[in-house]
Structure 1
Amino acid sequence: MDSSKPYVICHMLGSVDGRIKQDIWGFKDHHKYFEETAEKIAADAWLVGRVTMQEFSSPTTPDLNNTVIVSREDFVALKSATYAVVIDPSGKCFWDTNMVSTEHVIEVLTESVSDGYLEHLRNNKVSYIFGGKDSLNLELVLRKLRQLFDIQTVRIDGGGHVNGSFLKANLIDEFSLVLAPVADGTIGTPTVFEAEEGYGNRMATQFKIKSVDRIYDDFLWIRYLVVRDSVNSR
């Protein structure tokens, strides 16, 4: 493992046809299948995309008409035992606090965000790091999380586009899948990994099984390790 970046575990709840949870699955408490297994994965931080994190952030849009120029330097508001990291390139999550439950918030931004948004984060003591000028370099993001916050293990909690971005960048070390005993069958609904249209120039990512457990009667919890040299590995 690359010791300059955190160990990355992607954790998801998926159907047998690779879909992400939908209401038609018919489970009474779908949250527990994901959350109770996630709690058993030792990690210093969990990471999600902007859409997912907006469930936890402030519903109020603040006044961002700030005239102060804020330098594009990473901002460490405080050090914590655990962190909640959001991939938010354009700065669309707003905050009344710098915590989600017991985790300190870290915003992952591009340098294209406004000065007003950075001032908003600083005023609320929300940490932030820059992953690039106009687009994110996810490897750089991971290295900064390790260097600035001493994060050793990151658990990625989706959704599909965030998972796919890290998969495409070959930055996932382990995949934890709670396999639900259901076939969704809906064409066009989100899948566990949404990397890109078509095949591009990449090869599919291969895994080897780390462990398999039968849970909640008919669910499987499968943990895979990524096969780094996956070309012609089978």
Structure 2
Amino acid sequence: MENRPKTTVILATTADGKIADFQRNAARFGSDIDKNHLEKQISLVDGVIFGAGTLRAYGTTLTVRNTELLAQRKQENKPSQPINIVVSASGKIADNLRFFSQPVPHWLITTEEGTKNDTSNFEKVLTFSPEETGKINLVAAFKHLKEIGLNNLAILGGGELVASCLEENLIDEFCLTLCPYILGGKTAPTPVEGKGFLSKHSQKLELLSLEQIEQEIFLHYKVF
């Protein structure tokens, strides 16, 4: 971890393990308690990172608004909002999203091909794509983020990005909120997508804490 930020995946999931419905609409099943939990976790990090699909579904990001959390960031000499980093190999992000009017730093991680699209809404565009693959080199990207002072990252989805990070051993912890809903659907996205892992190579977790608040269960795992 010395060559990359500490990373925590923060997601709300239904009881059947879905993070959105089969049409991939924005998940709205988390309670206000879960939203406050997410805001607190975001307030603790230097940057939040999420895939383009997640941004397209929501159109916005969650900003830190709680006055106590803002005061804590100020006391620690941190900017009021963490850097918001979108990961998109294509670089095709609609320029009319409300996200771009929100008071957060907007960064993009993409490929050389992705930079051929209009990325002017982003204050910073970073490319980490070996020519032979055309894919984003997440290991190099995370190393660079660490080098420029981002020591703690929150990964907010989607499942493809989480899977890619897991494959490269780039995830340290999971904070999962288990919500009392069933969505079903074989195509509905889950916290970890990608090709998947064989059972003998499954990623093992250590439960650090478990808390029930009303109808939701907050799970905190360490990856090992």
TM-score range for the pair, normalised by the shorter chain length = 0.7 to 0.9
Aligned equivalent of 1:205? 203
Q: Distance in 1 between matches of 2:12 and 2:197?
A: 24
Relative to 1, partners in 2 of residues 1:82 and 1:114: Cα closer, same or farther, differing over 3 Å? closer
TM-score by length of 2: 0.75
Deviates more, 1:30-39 or 1:134-143: 30-39
State the 1:17 CA deviation: 2.3
Relative to 1, partners in 2 of residues 1:161 and 1:34: Cα closer, same or farther, differing over 3 Å? farther
State the 1:189 CA deviation: 1.6
Aligned equivalent of 1:187? 186
State the 1:154 CA deviation: 0.8
Q: Are 2:29 and 2:181, in contact at CA under 8 Å, matched by a contact in 1?
A: no
Q: Are 1:160 and 1:191, in contact at CA under 8 Å, matched by a contact in 2?
A: yes
Q: Residues 34-67 of structure 1, C-alpha deviation per residue, up to 9 Å, x if partnerless?
A: 432211211111111112223437xxxxxxxxxx
Q: Distance in 1 between matches of 2:190 and 2:54?
A: 15
Q: Distance in 2 between matches of 1:11 and 1:211?
A: 14
Q: Are 1:129 and 1:144, in contact at CA under 8 Å, matched by a contact in 2?
A: no
TM-score by length of 1: 0.72
Q: Distance in 2 between matches of 1:187 and 1:99?
A: 33
Unaligned runs of at least 5 residues, structure 1? 58-78, 228-234
Alpha-carbon RMSD across the aligned residues, in angstroms, is 3.0
Aligned equivalent of 1:171? 170
Which of structures 1 and 2 has the bigger CA Rg?
Answer: 1
Q: Distance in 1 between matches of 2:122 and 2:182?
A: 44
Matched, 1:129 2:117: no
Q: Residues 126-166 of structure 1, C-alpha deviation per residue, up to 9 Å, x if partnerless?
A: 20111213111111111111223x11111111111111111
Aligned length: 196
SS in 2 for 1:30: coil
AA paired with 1:16? A
Q: Residues 3-38 of structure 1, C-alpha deviation per residue, up to 9 Å, x if partnerless?
A: 221111001111222111339xxx986363543221
Aligned equivalent of 1:52? 54
Unaligned runs of at least 5 residues, structure 2? 61-77
Aligned equivalent of 2:222? 225
Greater fraction helix: 2
Aligned equivalent of 2:153? 154
State the 1:198 CA deviation: 6.5
